Amino acid sequence: MLTDFYFNIVTSLIYEKTGIVFDGKKRYFVENRIKEHMEEIGTTSIKDYIYRLKTDKEVLKEFISKITVNETYFYREYYHLKALSKIIQDEFRSVHLRILSIPCSSGEEPYTIAIILSEVLGIHSRFEVIGVDIDKNALEKAVKAVYGRRSVYKLPSEYLDKYFDKRNDGWVIKPFLKRKVKFYEGNILDKQFLNRLGTFQIVFCKNLLIYFDENSRARAVNNLYDLIQDGGYLFLGHAESLSRASSLFEPVKVEGSIVYKKPAEDEDEW
Ligand SMILES: C[S@@+](CC[C@H](N)C(=O)[O-])C[C@H]1O[C@@H](n2cnc3c(N)ncnc32)[C@H](O)[C@@H]1O
C-alpha cells in the first residue's frame, strides 16, 4: 500500500515524537494502523493524512496510541517486586517515598507498586506513586481503574479482595489505594515535562526501552538519571540492559534481580 517514501516519512515522525523505531519488519503492522486511522478520520489521500499528522496534535496522539504496545498486567515480573520490598524496608522506611512508573500504560504497574508499598509500609504511610505514559487512551483506562481477568490473573487473591471491589464490569481499585496514585500524560524524552514531576527515590521504566534505538535509549536514561535522587534506584525490564548509559548507574543485585543504583554524591569522590 505505502511507498518507501511515505513509510519513511511516517516512521521518522514517530521516531522523532516517541523514540520508537519501526523498521521494515514492522511495515505490515504500521501500514495497517495507518489504513485504519485514515478510514477513521475520513481521508483516502496519504499526503493529506501525513499533513494532518504533522499539523493536528490530536490526530498525531491518536496515531501514537494505535502504534504503541500497551501490554501490561498486575504483578508483572514478581522478582522485581521482591527487590522493591527489600529496598524499601532496608533504605526508605522513614522517608516520604515517591516512586515513578514510566511508562505506566493502563495503570497496572503503578497500582501494583502502590499495593507493595501498602503491604510493606502500611496504607496510611507517606508515599505517592506517579504514572506517566504518552498514550492518552491507556491513561484513561488507568484513571478509570477497572480491570478484567487478564489484567489481574497473576495477582494473589488476598490482594484482589483487599484492594479491589468486584463489579459487573470487572475489578475496580478501592478509593484508598487509588488516592495514592496520580497519572500524567507525557513523553520520556521530554526533559522539561519530566522536571516538573520533581524527584523520586525509585523509578520503574520497564518494557519501553526495547522499542528504542541506542540514541533514544541513552536520552531516556539520562533524563531518568536527573529525576532519581542520589542513592535511588532505576528498575528496568528483564530484557533491557543499560548498555552505554550503564556508566551512570551501578548495577546491584537485590533478591536475585539486577537493579540500577544512582551513586550517592560522596560515593563518587576519591
Ligand atoms: C509495554 S507498555 C509497558 C507498561 C509497563 N511498564 C509494564 O512493563 O508492564 C509500553 C508503554 O510505553 C508507552 N510509550 C511509548 N513511547 C513512550 C514515550 N516516548 N514516553 C512515554 N511512554 C511511552 C506506550 O504508550 C505503552 O503504554
What's residue 245's pLDDT? 55
Q: Is residue 72 part of a domain?
A: no
Q: Who contacts 27 (Cβ-Cβ below 8 Å, separation ≥6)? A: 2, 7
- Domain extent, residue 245, equals 78-268
Q: Clarify whether residues 90 and 22 are in a common domain.
A: no
Is residue 107 within 6 Å of ligand 1 at its C-beta?
A: no
CA of 266 to the centre of ligand 1 (A): 34
Q: Clarify whether residues 114 and 46 are in a common domain.
A: no
Is residue 189 within 6 Å of ligand 1 at its C-beta?
A: yes
Contact assessment for residue 87 and residue 233, using Cβ atoms and an 8 Å cutoff: yes
Q: Clarify whether residues 47 and 96 are in a common domain.
A: no
- Helices 4-18 and 27-41 sit at what angle, rounded to 10 degrees? 90
CA of 128 to the centre of ligand 1 (A): 20
103 prior amide bond cis, ω within 30:
yes
What's residue 239's pLDDT? 75
Q: Clarify whether residues 222 and 123 are in a common domain.
A: yes
Q: Clarify whether residues 257 and 180 are in a common domain.
A: yes
Is residue 69 within 6 Å of ligand 1 at its C-beta?
A: yes
Show the cell assigned to 233: 534506584
pTM for the whole thing?
0.95
What's residue 1's pLDDT? 72
Show the cell assigned to 23: 523498521
Is residue 131 within 6 Å of ligand 1 at its C-beta?
A: no
Distance, in Å, from the CA atom of 222 to the CA atom of 219, rounded to the nearest integer, reads 5
Distance, in Å, from the CA atom of 84 to the CA atom of 261, rounded to the nearest integer, reads 12
Show the cell assigned to 43: 481521508
What's residue 94's pLDDT? 84
Atom 3, ligand 1: residue with shortest CA distance = 207
Query: Look-up: residue for cell 508515599?
Result: 127
Q: Clarify whether residues 199 and 176 are in a common domain.
A: yes
Please give the average pLDDT of every successive group of 10 residues along the chain, which has 270 residues.
Answer: 92 97 93 97 96 97 97 95 96 93 98 97 93 98 97 96 96 97 98 97 96 93 96 89 72 93 71
63, 105, 189, best to mutate for ligand 1 pocket (most atoms within 8 Å of CB): 105
What's residue 267's pLDDT? 56
Q: Clarify whether residues 173 and 252 are in a common domain.
A: yes
Q: Clarify whether residues 127 and 57 are in a common domain.
A: no
What's residue 228's pLDDT? 97
Q: Clarify whether residues 167 and 241 are in a common domain.
A: yes
Residues written for the chain: 270
CA of 208 to the centre of ligand 1 (A): 5
Distance, in Å, from the CA atom of 229 to the CA atom of 237, rounded to the nearest integer, reads 20
Domain boundary among 38, 67, 96: 67
Q: Clarify whether residues 116 and 40 are in a common domain.
A: no
Q: Specify the number of domains making up the chain.
A: 2
Atom 2, ligand 1: residue with shortest CA distance = 70
Q: Clarify whether residues 264 and 149 are in a common domain.
A: yes
Q: Is residue 73 part of a domain?
A: no
Is residue 223 within 6 Å of ligand 1 at its C-beta?
A: no
**DSSP 8-state symbol, 264:** P
Show the cell assigned to 237: 525490564
Q: Clarify whether residues 236 and 113 are in a common domain.
A: yes
CATH number for the domain including 249? 3.40.50.150
